Amino acid sequence: MTIRPGRRAALVVRTTAVVALLATTVASCSSEERSVEALCRRLPAVADLDEALVRGDLAAVDAQAGALRRAVAVAPTDIEPSLDLLADTVDAIVASAGTADGAPRDALEAGIDAALPRDDLGTDVLSFNGAAVEEWSVRNCGLDLGSGTTVAAVPPGEGGPADTTG
């Protein structure tokens, strides 16, 4: 059977569309669901964010921004808003730094200046959410994000970082 050139092109387009649809379906089926376990697997990749910011390492901060976005994608609903706010902030720092002139360290400092809140309320909200993510990580994963070390997870109300009773 001979296929005419016009029909061949249509067949190639249809075959390509089917392959793309199958690839998309397989990719969506293989993505991780939101869970404590999934987030605990991804959080170690963001443990160096503070250090990268202090060092002024724009490439490392950019990598951390991607790791944060991947963490947000699997975050349980109780911590997702806090993690998303931090990811948005780091994304804004990287975006602002990308438009700044100068050495990468100077550009990162300019990005931080441009992206961080200038008012006390905005700073407090950012700090609160950062602390919430750190406490969640210790409580649920046994990971101290500040040091990147494994610690004994302490349930809320038993004197650990998540204990706010007093």
Question: Mind spelling out the 3-state secondary structure of 84-130?
Answer: HHHHHHHHHHHHHHHHCCCCHHHHHHHHHHHHCCCCHHHHHHHHHHH
Instruction: Give me the pLDDT at residue 31, please.
Output: 63
For residue 14, being part of any structural domain is answered with no
What is the domain extent for residue 47? 34-137
Q: Give a yes or no: residue 3 inside a domain.
A: no
* Domain count of the fold of the chain: 1
Cβ count near 115 (within 10 Å): 17
Tell me whether residue 5 is in a domain.
no
CB 108 within 8 A of CB 53: yes
Distance CA 42, CA 40 (A): 5
Task: Walk along the chain (166 residues) and give the pLDDT tens digit of each residue.
Answer: 444 555 444 444 343 333 333 333 333 444 679 999 999 999 999 988 888 888 888 999 999 999 999 999 999 999 999 999 999 999 999 999 988 888 888 999 999 889 888 888 888 998 999 999 999 999 999 999 887 778 776 555 444 444 433 3
In a domain, 155, yes or no: no
Tell me, yes or no, whether 28 lies in a domain. Answer: no
Distances (CA, A) of 140 to 30, 130, 132: 24, 15, 12
Strand partners, 150: 143
Mind listing the pLDDT tens digit for each residue in 85-122? Answer: 999 999 999 999 988 888 888 999 999 889 888 888 88
Query: What pLDDT is stored for residue 78 in this prediction?
Result: 96
Q: Does any domain span residue 106?
A: yes
